[in-house]
Structure 1
């Protein structure tokens, strides 16, 4: 009897402990957060996403996936129902993507917002509103996998062509030529070292020459300024030229006409002198006896056609 009593007490104790653990588990896992239902419909693959998966808003956990099934409104689409904390800022511009968590590959819903609207998406548990579900990075990668593989194959083919025996020989030749060119450049550089060493002195000489040219230019500028000053040589030369022009004009206006009259008078005198000399040559005795009477002309008394004097 005593053993049965001990067994009964032990059994009652186990049952009591089990009940207490169940109550503690319920209390620890209870969730009093008020959530709203939303739906997402997509034609993309949602591999890795399971019910009770986490819903995150820009990395912050705000809910969980309640159910995954087929959309009765859009044939062929997958319908995801989620419950989200009513304090989460779910706006009309909020959208969702399916993301993978770490290396486990477990999927979760990532919410984000492009900021184009500041109006909240009104919840309705009887007919939950729908949040757009866009392609995630994995979906885009899967769609581009064929293109990536084709490009990788093309790259591999081109690398094989590049590494062919003919191209390898050409590459070796090019490398050899580059080495020879580098050696030539080194030799040229060494040959130019003496010339480069003289560049500082040449630069100093050039600077001295430039300073000399600048000094000469300044002297020329100063001389030109002095020549052009009022009362300077050019100004005096201008006044002298004007005076000379005035003298020439006076000479032309007054002296030249008088010189012309003197020349005319001299010409008349010379003609008279010539006539006198001719008359003396014809009748020298005229110097002693005079010219005598004039020879009668035709129709006058004593005229002789033979030219004899009466």
Structure 2
């Protein structure tokens, strides 16, 4: 009977301690801060964004995401509701972007302001102020990367086509014709000068023939120059396309520079935090495992500690206490 009473007391104690722990957890996690709700609607995807995700204003945490749903007025848009601290300087010129947390794939809301207004944001259809959600620059680069690579490939194909053997032969022929035309013009000038000097007699001057020869030479020169001009124009256009594509890839603020900044952020910040969090979780799991093993072997340890428990009446090894002198006399 006494053993049952001890077991009942231990059970009631465990229930009481569990209820106290639950109440303490609810009290510690309660949200007593005053916040202001804002809405954002976008036609782009919000991959990686979850409820309770952080909201940062210029990198400072000012709130969290409270709801993500479809816009009831524009069914193709996503409606995101955030709760922001009143201390955050939200104005009509404040805008939001979707930022990513390293390599985790999770997203958060990044707020920024261009300083063009000091008035509060205008309310939306539901009366809740709305903040414009702009596309992510990294997402824009990713979306345009395919088109950019296609243009670079197209420019390289045109350059290869221009440098093909048959085109090289045409270019060489055009340059040869230009040289021949220049030589013909030079010869024509010398001939004309000699003719004008030697044949001053109008009866001997053959000016119509000389003019026809000069006209033919000039036409040949003009045709060769036009061919060279068209060829050089095509080369210049292809080189410009290639230079523009390479500038977008390797220039300041380009794809390669932004990818390098993201990799450095992951190596310096995200990976060390993940490693520390993993070590803390491992230590906590080992401690919980030891506590569970102890309670499984000896549940009464919650009341009497981890020491050995003396056997009670009716249990093997029980020894009755010695009677006092007064009890023996009776």
- TM-score tier (shorter): 0.3 to 0.5
Report the TM-score when normalising by structure 2: 0.45
**Structure of greater relative contact order (alpha carbons < 8 Å, 6+ residues apart):** 2
Say which one has the larger Rg: 1
